[in-house]
Amino acid sequence: MSTDAIALPGTELASQPFVARLHDWVTTVDHKRLGILYITFSLLFLLIAGVEAMLIRIQLIRPHNDFVSPQVFNRLFTMHGTTMIFFVIMPVMFGFANYLIPLMIGARDMAFPRLNAFSFWMTAFGGLLLYFSLAGANGLYGAGNAPDVGWFAYAPLTSQTFSIGHSTDFWILALLVSGFGSIGTAVNIIATVLCMRCPGMTLAKMPLFAWLNLVMAGLVILAVSPLTAAQIMLLVDRYLGGHFFDTQAGGSAVIWMHFFWVFGHPEVYVLVIPAFAFASEIIPVFSRKPIFGYSVMVAATIAIGFISMSVWAHHMFTVGMSSAANNFFVISTMAIAVPTGIKIFNWLATMWGGKIEFKTPMLFCIAFLFQFLIAGLTGIMQGAAPFDWHLGNSYFVVAHFHYVIVGGILFTLFGAFYYWFPKMSGKMCSEALGKLHFWLFIIGFHLTFDFMHIPGLLGMPRRIYTYEPGRGWDTWNFIVTIGVFFQAAGILVFLGNLIWSYFRGKAAGSDPWDAWTLEWSTNSPPPAYNFASRPVVKSRRPLWDFKHPADPDWNYE
Amino acid sequence: MNATSMTVAGARLEWNPPERGRVAMFSLIAAEAAIFTIFVVAYLFYVGKSLTGPTPKDVLSVPVLYTICLLSSSLTIHLAATSLRRGSILSFGLLWVATITLGAAFLYGTAIEWYRLIYNEGFTISTNLFGTTYYSLLGLHGFHVVVGLLSLSIVMVFTLLGSVRSEHAERIDVLSLYWHFVDVVWIVVFTVVYLIGR
């Protein structure tokens, strides 16, 4: 494990004055630094949106609570949802994609480094714009501050009549601006994966991480663009006196729902496919086996990508569509469960007969498998229109999608942090703190989101700021809120672990997990140029071939 | 472990990954197509749903001449790119100017049409649903023509400065992909607004 003979640029940076280092970070076009900027930015917003979630849950801990006012409650759930989707999970996934894809495919950088920097700063300014609404949204009428129209901002609530002042405009502009950033990053990821691979790495030999992020980028292209179009229409309505969503001039409020969910459902897969990508890299390494059914995994991901474009109106069963439309969206929603199920079986088959190491990243991925299965099952329940007529807009829905986003996506994301932190920082994370984080978070997660299904089944609607006692919701809401404190403690342990390990962690070396993809063949952290010479690969696990020259993978692929 | 040792000895590979500019432009075109799709769907959904006049039949005239201008600019830009590949900078420059002129003529056509609609007919974006969808869809397309013209003009400036050479043909091809896309969108917009919607 010798380091490269070439002197590492960056080692002398530590001695530079703070302003010079800051200048380097702000003007960087290096994919690794931009990746870290993306990740840091989203961790900051994770804290903010997490505090918003805590305030929401404290308000709901008992009936007739008056911890926050109804107006503030509306702002809290709007900002929580918008921030978590657009400024936490999307950027953190882009951050990992940015950092890892060029390393995994043996490239020097992304295809368009300056576009990459542009996209990051667009996303960052979008996030700042959203939170600037707290100070800047008073407007002429002095009404409102943060946006309070809900994260899907149904018409006509967003019209000038019902949303005076500028809070909704900040919401629109924040998503428009960060949307341009997302499209830029997606274009970059597609060009990088298709054009920058090192010699020998055919599409069928790419790490699954690169494959899945390619599909994710394709979905961003096709999903975020409709949102951009819808936001432009909303601006036309609000500023130029247009009538797109103005029901009094013959416009339709329902068409906003269609435009929003044409974005909104593929967006779920934009968020979850990178989570699948993490699991597909971590589970094989800690099971000491190659991934089971590589080509089926790729095919299933592409199938999910296609089908996810045709399921959007299952968010709208309660609006009252024709039975033909209902049937179509029920069937397509059921259909998407098939490729997703295939993936779960493939991960299980990868673990089957493996020599499983229960390190922190693997713990998070195993929890993900169970929790994502349950999230998928409640998804199928609500995919049946008659069932959804009863549970639409209830806490059952809230519990379901948090099961996907927290139980599925956030868990693999934590796994990814523990798995790739040694590569990014050169230091190992503390296993003890990692396990403490895992157990705190899994207890908190299940207390909160398992029990959240029940008040939903008992008829508790989402987005109410308080409720009457004696409806059977009190105990469940109490338990749900208690779970939040466990999760918050877990997050604090996690952040503490990152900071402690960065300064005090033991050196990681280039390949601490004995893994098989190219990013582990260079130093930790990698030098600015990534690889001293361009790698050439012959199989899906180039480092296995390198470590076992007598029994290389290409004999079997 | 040394990154150098990742090279497999004796591996001689034909390695020609696709050109990144082209891939990126196709991705961008896919994103743009999705944006236009939403606007076209909105236009079609709202055809005949305006509660007040005017209707498309009352005010719209079919812009045949300017449509011919825009569509023929696709031909000139294609011929320009071919000339550049052959190394003939002069004919490239002339065809490039022709492309810009045809594009500008189309914009002029839109401008006088909008002037007539706004000042003579009193028909604006807030008049009715037809106005909202008409000006948004044509405005979005016109915006893309403007962006295209700006990019073409930058290339023109570089051509006049003498720094465009035949090795830039690939980049010119990528830019012309965008211009072709703007033309194809116009065919869709023309069909939707002037043939189906009128």
pLDDT digits (tens, 9 = 90+) for B105-159: 999 999 999 999 999 999 999 999 999 999 999 999 999 999 999 999 999 999 9
Question: CB–CB of B136/A242 below 8 Å?
Answer: yes
Nearest Cα of chain A lies from the Cα of B23 at a distance, in angstroms, of: 6
pLDDT at A539: 92
Does B18 map to a domain?
A: no
Domain boundaries, chain A: 13-555
pLDDT at A1: 39
Helix (H, G, I), strand (E, B) or coil at A461: strand
pLDDT at B1: 44
A1, A199, A244 member nearest B1 (Cβ): A1
Does B66 map to a domain?
A: no
Helix (H, G, I), strand (E, B) or coil at A291: coil
Q: What DSSP state is assigned to residue A506?
A: P
**Minimum mean pLDDT among A282-286, A425-429, A548-552: which range?**
A548-552
The CB-side HSE value for A32 (13 A sphere, CA atoms) comes to: 21
Give the total number of structural domains in chain B. 1
From first to last of the 198 residues of chain B, give the pLDDT tens digit: 444 445 554 455 678 889 999 999 999 999 999 999 999 999 999 999 999 989 999 999 999 999 999 999 999 999 999 999 999 999 999 999 999 999 999 999 999 999 999 999 999 999 999 999 999 999 999 999 999 999 999 999 999 999 999 899 999 999 999 999 999 999 999 999 999 988
B8, B27, B140 member nearest A191 (Cβ): B27
The whole-number average pLDDT for the span A413-429 is 96
pLDDT at A6: 47
Phi first, then psi, for residue A394 (nearest 5°) are -105, 175
Give B98's contacts (C-beta < 8 A, 6+ positions apart).
B73, B76, B80
pLDDT digits (tens, 9 = 90+) for A335-370: 999 999 999 999 999 999 999 999 999 999 999 999
Does B191 map to a domain?
A: yes
Question: CB–CB of A220/A267 below 8 Å?
Answer: no
Q: How many whole angstroms separate alpha carbon A483 and alpha carbon A462?
A: 18
CATH number, span A13-555: 1.20.210.10
Structure confidence at residue A4 as a pLDDT band (50, 70, 90): very low
Structure confidence at residue A53 as a pLDDT band (50, 70, 90): very high
A2, A112, A249 member nearest B2 (Cβ): A2
Does B187 map to a domain?
A: yes
The whole-number average pLDDT for the span A324-336 is 95
Does B89 map to a domain?
A: yes
Nearest Cα of chain A lies from the Cα of B50 at a distance, in angstroms, of: 6
Contact B3/A at CB under 8 A: yes
Question: CB–CB of B101/B76 below 8 Å?
Answer: no
- Between A and B, how many CB-CB pairs are < 8 A? 155
pLDDT at residue A542 greater than cutoff 50: yes
Nearest Cα of chain A lies from the Cα of B90 at a distance, in angstroms, of: 31
pLDDT at residue A125 greater than cutoff 70: yes
Print the domain residue range for B136: 72-198
Interface test with A, best of B5, B20, B41 (most A CBs within 10 A): B20
Does B49 map to a domain?
A: no
Closest listed residue to residue B176, CA positions, set B198, B160, B155, B195: B155
Contact B19/A at CB under 8 A: yes
Percent of chain A scoring above 90 in pLDDT: 89
Q: How many whole angstroms separate alpha carbon B38 and alpha carbon A245?
A: 14
Between A556 and A65, where is the model more confident? A65
CATH number at residue B191: 1.20.120.80
Chain B CA closest to residue A214? B27
Closest listed residue to residue A447, CA positions, set A494, A487, A412: A487
Does B166 map to a domain?
A: yes
Nearest Cα of chain B lies from the Cα of A126 at a distance, in angstroms, of: 19
pLDDT at B15: 83
ipTM of predicted assembly, 2 dp: 0.93
Structure confidence at residue A420 as a pLDDT band (50, 70, 90): very high
pLDDT digits (tens, 9 = 90+) for A137-165: 665 455 558 898 999 999 999 998 888 88
Does B33 map to a domain?
A: no
Pairwise CB contact (< 8 Å): A546 & B4: no
pLDDT at residue A5 greater than cutoff 60: no
